[in-house]
């Protein structure tokens, strides 16, 4: 696989202290790391660990307890996003990931917003994404909008389908605002992986990988990852692939499976 590999070092390398995971990922052949949140991290220590290991930081989540689909959250959402961008600049990260809904512990959707109409949710998300794109362009930190599965991990999340995410970023038309195509989430929500990748490849800014079911390394579930990776290369994807997965046994075994592709 010629794609650039990033290890998500929150679920992976959990056997060792966080700051040691940068060197471990580099030693295992990853070009980048990524992680989930930044507010609980010592950013100076993160930057130093990455620089010492000689590994890039792909990115982390840029939103917190605020939602794109809640119009009353616009000001605090964008204020926190600016702080996330500043954190990314500080550690040398390339991107931040954004979501439709606020996520709590273990990725639980904080508010399903059943009281809001689809019209309000869509208009609010589009309005705020336009501002997100401006922040991305001004800062040089890319933003990737991620849809999440609603069957297993993120019940109640509004952004569920690739089509909605990709059509919205196409309409906005910023080279700094794309979608994060998470193969695991989209296998659970919609299937038709390679056709979807082909249809929206111009809008895919980042890819996440885990097998389904289980959210473990490739080869432990039903997804034909050899074909998915080959298809990504065939349609011209040149970005990073983040392995955001929970090792079925150990990180070492998961890395062996990843590198076999």
* Per-residue model confidence (pLDDT) at position 60: 98
pLDDT in tens, 99-115: 999 999 889 999 999 99
The pLDDT, as a whole number, for residue 1 is 55
Q: Find tokens 């990748």 and name the residue.
A: 197
Res 221: pLDDT? 98
Residue 162 structural domain: 4-259
State pLDDT tens for residues 64-99: 899 999 999 999 999 999 999 999 999 999 999 999
Residues in the chain: 261
Regions in the chain scoring below 70 on pLDDT: 1
Structure tokens at 40: 């609980």
Count of domains for the chain = 1
CATH number at residue 234: 3.20.20.150
What is the rounded distance in angstroms from the CA atom of residue 168 to the CA atom of residue 147? 12
Quick check: 127 and 175 in contact, CB under 8 A? no
The pLDDT of residue 136 is: 98
Predicted confidence at residue 2, as pLDDT, reads 76
């Amino acid at each position: 696989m010629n794609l650039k590999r990033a290890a998500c070092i929150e679920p992976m390398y959990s056997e060792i202290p966080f700051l040691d995971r940068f060197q471990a990922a580099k030693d295992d052949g990853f070009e980048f790391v990524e992680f989930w949140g930044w507010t609980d991290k010592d950013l100076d220590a993160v930057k130093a660990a990455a620089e010492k290991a000689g590994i890039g930081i792909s990115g982390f989540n840029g939103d917190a307890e605020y939602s794109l689909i809640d119009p009353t959250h616009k000001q605090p959402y964008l204020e926190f996003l600016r702080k996330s961008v500043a954190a990314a600049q500080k550690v040398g990260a390339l991107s931040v990931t954004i979501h439709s809904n606020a996520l709590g512990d273990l990725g639980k959707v904080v508010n399903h917003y059943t009281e809001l109409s689809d019209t309000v949710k869509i208009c609010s998300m589009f309005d705020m994404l336009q501002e997100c794109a401006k922040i991305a362009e001004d800062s040089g930190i890319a933003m990737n909008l991620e849809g999440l599965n609603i069957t297993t991990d993120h019940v109640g999340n509004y952004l569920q389908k690739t089509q909605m995410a990709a059509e919205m970023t196409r309409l906005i038309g910023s080279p700094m605002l794309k979608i994060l195509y998470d193969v695991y989430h989209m296998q659970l929500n919609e299937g038709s992986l390679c056709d979807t990748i082909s249809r929206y490849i111009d809008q895919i800014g980042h890819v996440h990988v885990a097998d389904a079911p289980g959210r473990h390394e490739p080869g432990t579930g039903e997804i034909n990852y050899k074909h998915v990776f080959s298809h990504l290369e065939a349609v011209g994807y040149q970005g990073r692939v983040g392995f955001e997965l929970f090792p079925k046994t150990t990180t070492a075994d998961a890395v062996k499976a990843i590198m076999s592709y």
